[in-house]
Amino acid sequence: MENYESIFWLCCCIPLVNFFIAYLVFAQMTVHPIEKKIKASGGSIPEWDNMGMRIPSYAVAMLLPVKVKAAQAIDEDSVQKFTSKSDKKRAIYFMCSFVIILIPVMAGYFIFGPN
């Protein structure tokens, strides 16, 4: 059983690397330029990153039409205003890569988890 577990976790490394790349690309090519545009228009951006949730918050604000003001640390209206089609595509890729890494990790925990 140990051999299968090693192979399984090794196979999980590919989606994990994919997620890290998606995170970096989304943060640098989408979030950073949008924050510059928000600052230039006189808006405010979050001062603190609250445990790394700023980047996923931008992705959620771009993809979901429903506004959840109380749960977001960002100005969703400004994000929607400055979002382009390529930004939305990167947000979809970012969120899908997150789900793709979550599924095998959760499955591995339940299959090979604590005895």
Residue 3 counted as domain residue: no
More confident: 17 or 5: 17
- Put simply, whether the predicted model's pTM sits higher than 0.75 gets the answer yes
Per the domain annotation, does 56 fall within a domain?
yes
Q: Is residue 26 part of a domain?
A: yes
Judged against a pLDDT cut of 70, whether residue 87 lies above it is answered with yes
Q: Is residue 2 part of a domain?
A: no
DSSP the chain: -HHHHHHHHHHHHHHHHHHHHHHHHHIIIIIHHHHHHHHHTT----SS-TTTTHHHHHHHHHH-SS--TTT-SS-HHHHHHH--HHHHHHHHHHHHHHHHHHHHHHHHHHHHS--
Is 52 among the domain residues?
yes
22 within a domain of the structure (yes/no): yes
Domain count, the chain: 1
Task: Please report whether residue 51 resides in a domain.
Answer: yes
Domain containing residue 33: 8-112
Average pLDDT over residues 37-64: 85
